[in-house]
Amino acid sequence: MTAPAEFTRLAAEIAREAGEMLLAKRPARPEVVQTKSSPTDVVTALDRAAEELIRARVREVRPDDAILGEEGGATGEGAVRWIVDPIDGTVNFVYGLPDWAVSIAVEVDGEIVAGVVNVVPRGEVFSASLGGGAWLGGERLRCNTGVPLSGALVATGFGYQVGRRTVQGEVLAKVLPHVRDVRRAGSAAADLCAVAAGRVDAYYERGPQYWDYAAGGLVATEAGARLGGMRGRPVGPDMTLCAAPGLFEELHDLLAGFDPERDE
């Protein structure tokens, strides 16, 4: 059986190669080739090219594994599944902002055992193996602990649909008076790694898909954070909430009062 650390090593190698390709091929203003859930939910040719590269590399080394990719959907069957977001933060990629990432996680029998988030423009490769800790290069990561809600720097994000973001704006306006401040960087994967690295204290967002949070979620939990949804439910597209345990509960309880899992 392949050890989690070996999956992490392979995922990091592939995420680095995809990142190098994206940096080398990114034009001054990448062209949007398709829109998805709304006119602002964009795909570039390089999202597709990066996912194809990642799929090809996985097939070379692990031909029997399944793959779930943001652009190419689900392929293959088997106990081992790779969860791929070739560019998390595509809008940042288009605009030339630095928070976009190649995100690759590996699941064995439904459990995530390896996660790598390569925040390419920053040259930062975050990684984690189940039980093996979270790392940024050679530095072991620990999320901030003991931060009260009133002192918390909270990252969040918004969906692409008008009704959803209208509610997200309302909820955020109610959260803001209770926390230190808020940040919206533009990549859920990078936001979760920011929790792991103590660059923010918490992250919440309604909407991220499995490929957005699979790898970053493991990085955050291996750094000591709690990852989940509302009211004891697991993390999922309804809600991604992540912070050190005490703050998780405080932020959860604040959010719960604002009914954050609705869309207009």
> Residue 83 catalytic?
no
Tokens linked to 72: 């190419």
Instruction: Name every residue whose Cβ is closer than 8 Å to that of residue 173 and which is 6 or more positions away in sequence.
Output: none
d(CA 185, CA 156) in angstroms, rounded, equals: 8
> Site for ligand IPD (CB under 6 A): which residue of 48, 68, 71, 90?
90
> Site for ligand IPD (CB under 6 A): which residue of 186, 216, 217, 260?
186
> Site for ligand IPD (CB under 6 A): which residue of 4, 19, 121, 159?
159
> Residue 88 catalytic?
yes
> Residue 212 catalytic?
yes
Closest CB to ligand IPD among residues 85, 222 = 85
> Residue 6 catalytic?
no
Nearest to 138 by CA among 152, 151, 124, 148: 124
> Site for ligand IPD (CB under 6 A): which residue of 69, 121, 208, 216?
208
CB of 70 to ligand IPD, least distance (A): 6
| DSSP H helices in the chain | 4-25, 45-61, 90-95, 162-175, 188-196, 210-222, 245-256
Q: Is 221 left (phi over 0), alpha (psi -120 to 50) or beta?
A: alpha
Q: According to the binding rule CB under 6 A, does residue 88 interact with ligand IPD?
A: yes
Q: According to the binding rule CB under 6 A, does residue 85 interact with ligand IPD?
A: yes
Q: What is the DSSP string of 150-189?
A: GG-EEEE---SSHHHHHHHHHHHHHHGGGSSEEE--S-HH
Q: Which of 51, 71, 88, 205 is catalytic?
A: 88
Taking residues 187 to 206 in sequence order and writing x for each that binds ligand IPD by CB under 6 A, - otherwise, the string is xx----------------x-
d(CA 119, CA 134) in angstroms, rounded, equals: 15
What are the residues binding ligand IPD (CB under 6 A)?
70, 85, 88-90, 157-159, 186-188, 205, 207-208, 212
Which residues are catalytically annotated?
Answer: 70, 85, 87-88, 90, 212
